[in-house]
Amino acid sequence: MCASSKTTANTARPSNASSVTSAENGQGGRGRGAGVALAERALVLVANRLCAPTSEHELARWLDTDFVCDRRGRRWVPVWRGDAERRASRLPRVRVAFRQLKQWDRTLDQLAARKATIEQELYFRLCDRFSLNVDLVFYDLTSTSFEGQGPPTLGAHGKSRDSKPRNRQVLVGLVMVEGWPLAHHVFRGNRRDATTVRQVLEDLEQRFGVRRMVVVGDRGMVTSENLALLRARGQGYVVGLQRRRREAVYRYIERATGPWTECPGGITAREKTEVPKTRVHEVASDQAGVRIFVVQSDERLAFERTQRLNAMARVRTALEALERRVRRGQLKAPAKIGAAAARILGRFHGYRYYDWEVQDGRFRFFEHPVNLTREEAYEGKYVIQTEEPHLTAVEAVRIYKELSEVERAFANLKDVIELRPIYHQTDARVQAHVFVAALAFLLHRAIEKKLKAAGLDLSATEALQTVRSVRVVDFTLDGGQRKRTVTRGTERAARILATLGITELDPPTPPTEAATVV
C-alpha cells in the first residue's frame, strides 16, 4: 500500500495492485549498472508519490525515514554526498549523490518508454479482476504547470486551470471507466481541448480493443467535428452543452415547460435537512436523431442565483459611483464616460446584467432587458445532448453526473498525489512524472474501493496516515547479532490492513551479504 514511516512498502499494498510492480510481467528491465529490476525501482517512485509526494531530490530524505525494500528484503537507502565533495562542486546545494539521481532519471526514462505496454497490461488485469464493462468512457482534461521553462515540445502557455497563466504547462487527459483510471495522455500546453478527442478515441480502439463505447465529456469537447467523428466511428456520446456560446441552448431551456421527472438524489444531497431536488425534461431537438435533456438543479440554482446577486451588487455600486462623477461634472466627454462604463461592465460579467446610455450629458444605467432575462433563465439549469436512443432522461442525468468522478480524480492527482509543480525539463521525463502520479492514483483508488466495500468510512489518504503507526525496528543483541521486527500498529491500522488483505507485515529476510540497495 505505501511506504509509511518505518513501514514496509513491498508488503503493505493491496494484493490486487501487485501487477504494477511484478518483475515477471515483462516490465522487469534493468538500468545500466543498477542490478535491480525496473519494477523494483518504479515501486520506490510510486510509493513515494502515493505516501509523501516529493521530487527526486527530496526522495533521499524520505528514504532516510521510511522503510522501503525490494522483494528480497533489501532496504532502499539514500546516498549522500560528503560535505567536502559537495562544497567543492559546481552544485553545492545538491546533497544527494549524482549517481543515485541519475538512477532515478534512468528509471523515469524506462517507464516513459514502457508506458503504453504497462497501461495495456493493467487494463486487462483490471478487466479480469473486476469484470469492467467498457461501455461508458469518461474523459476530461486538466493542466499542470512547470517551474522554469519546461520541456521544449510539450511545455507551452495556454488556458491555465492552476491559476498560473505565466507558467508554461502541459495538458493531461484522463480516461476513466467505472471509477478506474484506464489511461492518460499528455498534450502540449496550448492545445485546444476539443482537438484531443480523435487521438484518445484511436488509442482506445487500437490499444485496448474497445469497439463500441459511449463517450461522456464536458462542454469543452463539444464541436461539430467531434460529434461527426463519433458518429463516423459508430461511437455514442453524452455531453453537456455550453449555455452561453450556443444560441440553441436558450431555445431548449425555453421549451422546458414540463412535465419534469425527478431524479434520485445523491448521498450528499440526502444528508441535508432540506433535500435539494434535480429534475429533467426532454425537449424537442433542432436536429433529427439528437436528443436534448434540460436539467434543473435546486442546489445549482441556489448557488448561481447567489453568485449573480453578489455580482450585480458589486457592478451596481461601481455604476452608481460613475453616475455621481458624471452628475458632479468630474467626467464630461461621452467617449470617456462610455469607456468608464465599459470597464465596469467588464468586471464581474456586468454586461450580463446592466446596460447604460448617455443623454444630454446625463449618464443612466438600467437592468439589461435581454441579457438579464437570459441569465435568470440559465440559473440552475444545464443541457445534455446525446444520440443514444435507449437512454432514459434519468439515466442520461446519472451518467453525466458521473463525469464529476474525473474531476475528483484530477483533484486527487493535484492535491493528494501532488502532480504539480513539475521540475523536469525533457518531454520524456515530464511524461514519466505524470505516469508515476497516475500509477500512484491507481493504487489510491484501489485502496478507496476496498475500504468502501468493507464499509470503512475512511479515505485512502486517511488510511495511509493511520498505518504509519506500523513500525520497523532494527536492534542488536549481545554478541552483535542483528534482529528486525515489525510493530503491529494501532487497532485502526490493524483493521485497515485486514480490510486490504494484508496479513504478513514482516519484510523478507535480506541476504546477509547485501542488506541494503541504493
Residue (of 127, 123, 140) closest to 215 by Cα position: 140
Residue 11 has pLDDT above 70, yes or no: no
- Higher-confidence residue of 272 and 389: namely 389
Per-residue pLDDT tens over the stretch 401-415: 888 878 778 787 777
Cβ pair 472, 507 in contact under 8 A: yes
pLDDT of residue 155: 86
pLDDT of residue 343: 95
pLDDT of residue 107: 93
pLDDT of residue 381: 94
Task: Give residue 422's pLDDT band: very low, low, confident or very high (50, 70, 90).
Answer: confident
- Higher-confidence residue of 476 and 400: namely 400
Residue (of 312, 278, 311) closest to 295 by Cα position: 278
pLDDT of residue 478: 78
pLDDT of residue 305: 96
pLDDT of residue 392: 94
pLDDT of residue 7: 34
Cβ pair 424, 433 in contact under 8 A: yes
Residue 273 to residue 275: CA distance in whole angstroms: 6
Per-residue cell: 405: 468522478
pLDDT of residue 479: 76
Per-residue pLDDT tens over the stretch 158-190: 888 777 888 888 889 989 888 899 999 999 989
pLDDT of residue 153: 87
Per-residue pLDDT tens over the stretch 436-485: 999 999 999 999 999 998 988 888 889 999 999 998 888 888 777 778 88
Domain boundaries defined on the chain: 15-117+432-444+455-517, 241-390
DSSP string, 174-191: EEEETTEEEEEEEEETT-
pLDDT of residue 418: 76
Residue (of 286, 276, 281, 217) closest to 253 by Cα position: 281
pLDDT of residue 150: 76
Rounded to an integer, the average pLDDT of 497-518 is 82
Task: Give residue 144's pLDDT band: very low, low, confident or very high (50, 70, 90).
Answer: confident
pLDDT of residue 121: 93
Rounded to an integer, the average pLDDT of 375-388 is 94
Per-residue pLDDT tens over the stretch 323-339: 999 999 999 999 999 99
Weakest-pLDDT range from 66-80, 273-287, 467-481: 467-481
Residue 239 has pLDDT above 60, yes or no: yes
Half-sphere exposure of 438 (CA within 13 A, CB side): 26
Cβ pair 276, 298 in contact under 8 A: yes
Residue 315 to residue 317: CA distance in whole angstroms: 5
Residue 263 to residue 260: CA distance in whole angstroms: 9
φ, ψ dihedrals at 75, nearest 5°: -80, 135
pLDDT of residue 414: 75
Task: Give residue 21's pLDDT band: very low, low, confident or very high (50, 70, 90).
Answer: very low
Per-residue pLDDT tens over the stretch 121-140: 999 999 888 888 888 888 88
Residue 414 to residue 437: CA distance in whole angstroms: 9
Cβ pair 364, 357 in contact under 8 A: yes
Residue (of 224, 253, 260, 242) closest to 393 by Cα position: 260
Residue 30 to residue 45: CA distance in whole angstroms: 15
Task: Give residue 266's pLDDT band: very low, low, confident or very high (50, 70, 90).
Answer: low
* Cα Dmax for the chain: 103
Residue 9 has pLDDT above 50, yes or no: no
pLDDT of residue 355: 96
Per-residue pLDDT tens over the stretch 328-372: 999 999 999 999 999 999 989 999 999 999 998 899 999 999 999
Residue 451 to residue 177: CA distance in whole angstroms: 19
Task: Give residue 10's pLDDT band: very low, low, confident or very high (50, 70, 90).
Answer: very low
Q: What is the mean pLDDT of the chain?
A: 85
Query: Above pLDDT 90, what percent of the chain?
Result: 42
- Higher-confidence residue of 246 and 1: namely 246
Cβ pair 355, 368 in contact under 8 A: yes
Residue 1 has pLDDT above 90, yes or no: no
pLDDT of residue 20: 33
Residue 352 to residue 343: CA distance in whole angstroms: 13
Cβ pair 75, 472 in contact under 8 A: no
pLDDT of residue 113: 93
Residue 493 to residue 158: CA distance in whole angstroms: 44
